[in-house]
């Protein structure tokens, strides 16, 4: 399944909390679970949000890998499906 993960770093983080978030992110990228594939990543041009298209077996897996970041980010996880074009009926 595909999931669009939207993260916004909380604005009230202390420098120590921001450093902890960075450490968590580095650890995640160093050992991405084998059942999860990152299909694409983007950032808003003002860096206010980041977006990841993930492939994972289920939403529980995505919630599990996102859980360590909950203290530091506001997150939205949306199951998505690929579409191609638009046709009017």
Stated as kind and residue range, the H or E segment containing 18 is helix 15-30
Locate the domains of the chain by residue range.
2-80
Question: What is the pTM assigned to this prediction?
Answer: 0.85
Q: Assess contact for 79 and 3: CB atoms under 8 A.
A: yes
pLDDT of residue 87: 67
pLDDT of residue 72: 94
Give CA–CA dist 27/39, Å, rounded: 19
What is the sign of the dihedral through the CA atoms of 62, 67, 72 and 74?
A: positive
Classified by CATH at the fold level, domain 2-80 comes out as Alpha-Beta Plaits (3.30.70)
Structure tokens at 50: 């980041």
Question: What does the pLDDT look like over 37-63, one tens digit per residue?
Answer: 999 999 999 888 999 999 999 999 999
pLDDT of residue 88: 60
Q: What is the chain's mean pLDDT, rounded?
A: 93
Closest CA to 39 of 3, 88, 9, 78: 3
pLDDT of residue 22: 92
């Amino acid at each position: 399944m595909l999931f669009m993960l939207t993260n916004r770093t909380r604005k009230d983080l202390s420098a120590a909390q921001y450093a902890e978030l960075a450490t968590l992110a580095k650890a995640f990228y160093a050992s991405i679970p084998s059942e999860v594939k990152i299909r694409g990543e983007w950032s808003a041009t003002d860096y206010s949000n980041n977006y990841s298209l993930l492939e994972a077996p289920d939403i529980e897996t995505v919630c599990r890998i996102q859980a360590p970041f909950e203290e530091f980010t506001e997150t939205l996880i949306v199951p998505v499906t690929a579409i191609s074009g638009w046709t009017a009926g």
